[in-house]
Amino acid sequence: MFWVYLRDMKSWMLFYLGSIAIVDLIVWLDDGIKVALPAVLYFNVLLLVFFGGFVCWRYYAEMRFTKELIVLVDAESDDWQATLPEANFLRDQAIKELLLQTSSRFTAEMTELQKLDMREADYMAAWVHEVKTPLTAMKLVMDEHRSHPAIRKLDLEWLRLHLLIDQQLSISRLPSLESDYVLEKTALPLLVSTEVRALSSWCLEKNIAVEVEGSDLEIVADVKWCRFIIRQFLTNAVKYSPVGGTITISMDRTPTGHVVLRVTDEGPGIQPHELPRIFDKGFTGGTGRIHNAATGLGLYLAETVASKIGIELAAQSEIGHGTTMIMTFSVENEFNRPLK
């Protein structure tokens, strides 16, 4: 940093050294000034020594504020405003006031944006709840007229609308997931069968068979959010499976005690270079573009939820041979870890 300071002060240094050089030149050219050469050299060395001391003194005095600012930048402290150093010079005081004013404006703007986001989230949640009421009424009417030929197609469109509304409701709940998080022991096959039944009309419309393999395994997790993740996996499996295909759901326990759920479809698969990005927000991939029905939100939301409740998600795929989505549940003694 000292060399940076010297570079910044080079105009002053050049002026000082130039002044010494001009004085030496005058002494050398003016015959009326009789000064011995050793005396001139001694005078120059003395001035340079004093000048070096002066530069060092000014460096420590003028750069103290800057060095403490650099320390704050490296520390990345959240309360940096309270630890700003005292300013001894006008320019440092101006910098300090500018930083405080900018921070104050930024905080006020962020607070206003957060309030706006909260209002929009509350409005969206209220809207979703209001929409679910007529959807429920529609479902009751459709259940009463199952014999009508158009009800089957209407039921499928109702299911798609219901899934979209449910996804939007989950999005509005994500910021407060920690306060809506309840651990309980439950049977994993029960969660799977509940979601399979919810998608039964879609499976019937595409003539898709669902095979469930595995024993009656129990997990310790949040039932509602686990069902949300399973629903995203099954929805994608049904969406990308061919007509007459089969979805295989298997459950087992690893030697380390972790319960693993696998959902395998017979879809077109995922390109190897796209596989690491399937959990990114907005990523649809080549298959999603072909089907023109992907939003790039389902797996992103599933990964966001999973990372908060201690579940690991992964995917395996081969072009032309389908995709396997994997959920690895935490063992019971791992829930002492705090939520992320």
Q: Kindly state the tokens that stand for 19.
A: 């002044």
CA distances from 124 to 94, 166, 181, 187, 282 (A): 44, 12, 21, 33, 20
189, 160 Cβ separation under 8 angstroms: no
Would you state the pLDDT for residue 293? 55
Average pLDDT over the chain, rounded to an integer: 83
What's the rounded mean pLDDT across residues 113-118? 83
Write the pLDDT tens digit of every residue in 50-104: 988 988 888 888 888 888 888 787 777 777 777 788 888 888 888 888 888 988 8
Q: Kindly state the tokens that stand for 243.
A: 């007509």
- 113 pLDDT higher than 80: yes
User: Residue 209, SS3?
Assistant: strand
Q: Kindly state the tokens that stand for 226.
A: 């686990």
158, 198 Cβ separation under 8 angstroms: no
Nearest to 145 by CA among 156, 154, 136: 154
Distance CA 51, CA 30 (A): 26
H or E element that contains 240: helix 223-240
Nearest to 302 by CA among 223, 249, 226: 226
Which residue shows structure tokens 């790039």? 296
- 333 pLDDT higher than 50: yes
- 157 pLDDT higher than 60: yes
In this prediction the pTM is 0.64
Residue 323: count other Cβ atoms within 10 Å of its Cβ. 25
Please, is 88 exposed, middle or buried when counting C-beta atoms within 10 Å of its C-beta (0-12, 13-18, 19+)? exposed
What's the rounded mean pLDDT across residues 109-132? 80
Q: Regarding predicted confidence, which is higher, 132 or 327? A: 327
- 288 pLDDT higher than 60: no
Percent of the chain topping pLDDT 90: 15
Distance CA 313, CA 230 (A): 11
Backbone angles phi, psi at 327, to 5 degrees: -115, 125
Residue 42: count other Cβ atoms within 10 Å of its Cβ. 11
